[in-house]
Amino acid sequence: MRPPYPHPIIAREGWPFVFATLIAAAALTWYFGWWSIPFWLLVLFMLQFFRDPPREVPDDPRAVLSPADGRIVEVSRAHDPYVKREALKLSVFMNVFNVHSNRSPVDCVVKERWYFPGAFVNAALDKASLENERNALWLRTPEGGDVTCVQVAGLIARRILCYVDAGAGLKRGARFGFIRFGSRVDVYLPLDAQVRASIGDKVYAAESVLAWVKTPNSKPK
């Protein structure tokens, strides 16, 4: 299922950076010729960093999708500090070469949103989940399940962007935010979720299935 795609192939957050580096590179080319090559490489970096391709969303209503591109760095049982419960935690680490657009992992209504200022340690470290700047969303599925999705800033990331608040409805794969320049997204799931992803797996936002959750019509596997 391909959802409506409201943004161009370059994320809207990236255009100021693309234009600024493009103007600088063009001006330096005019004055310094081939010495401007590093700035053209910077333009290319901005284009690849802010790319935001459309994705094919799986039809399975049980599927919990990855909210971000990157690699799985944690799969564990953990305390969800936002919804105050024991949960299954999966973490996706994004380096500067991954797509940084964040997508909803489930069909849901946003029950609550929390923002926490914090540090900027390496997002690949477990302590980043509780020490770094972060934005958390409590998502309630149509079946009444709770999923917590947390955007976490990293060593280089200095800006978390989130475009939804409490009361907003989201479809699986819908774009809800962006993190600039390397970061992490944590997902907390019910304990009875069937985890599919493993540490080290490469995942893609809105396409890769992290786990399955129970629905009224689902059968045990």
CB 211 within 8 A of CB 198: no
| From 183, 198, 208, 218, active-site residue | 183
Q: Across-strand partners of 113?
A: 137
The closest alpha carbon to 121, from 151, 89, 158, belongs to 158
H or E segment to which residue 87 belongs? strand 85-94
Catalytic residue list contains 101? no
Which amino acid, residue 150? V
Taking Cα atoms as reference points, which of 133, 146, 139 lies closest to residue 183? 133
Could you tell me the CA-to-CA distances from 134 to 19, 121, 171 in Å, in that order? 28, 12, 22
Q: What does the angle CA 9 – CA 92 – CA 143 come to, to the nearest 5 degrees?
A: 90
Closest CA to 165 of 102, 116, 206, 111: 111
Please compute, for residue 171, the number of CA atoms within 13 A of its CA located in the half-sphere on the CB side.
Answer: 11
Instruction: At 206, list the tokens.
Output: 């809105």
Query: How close are the terminal C-alpha atoms of the chain, in Å?
Result: 24
What is the set of active-site residues?
Answer: 183
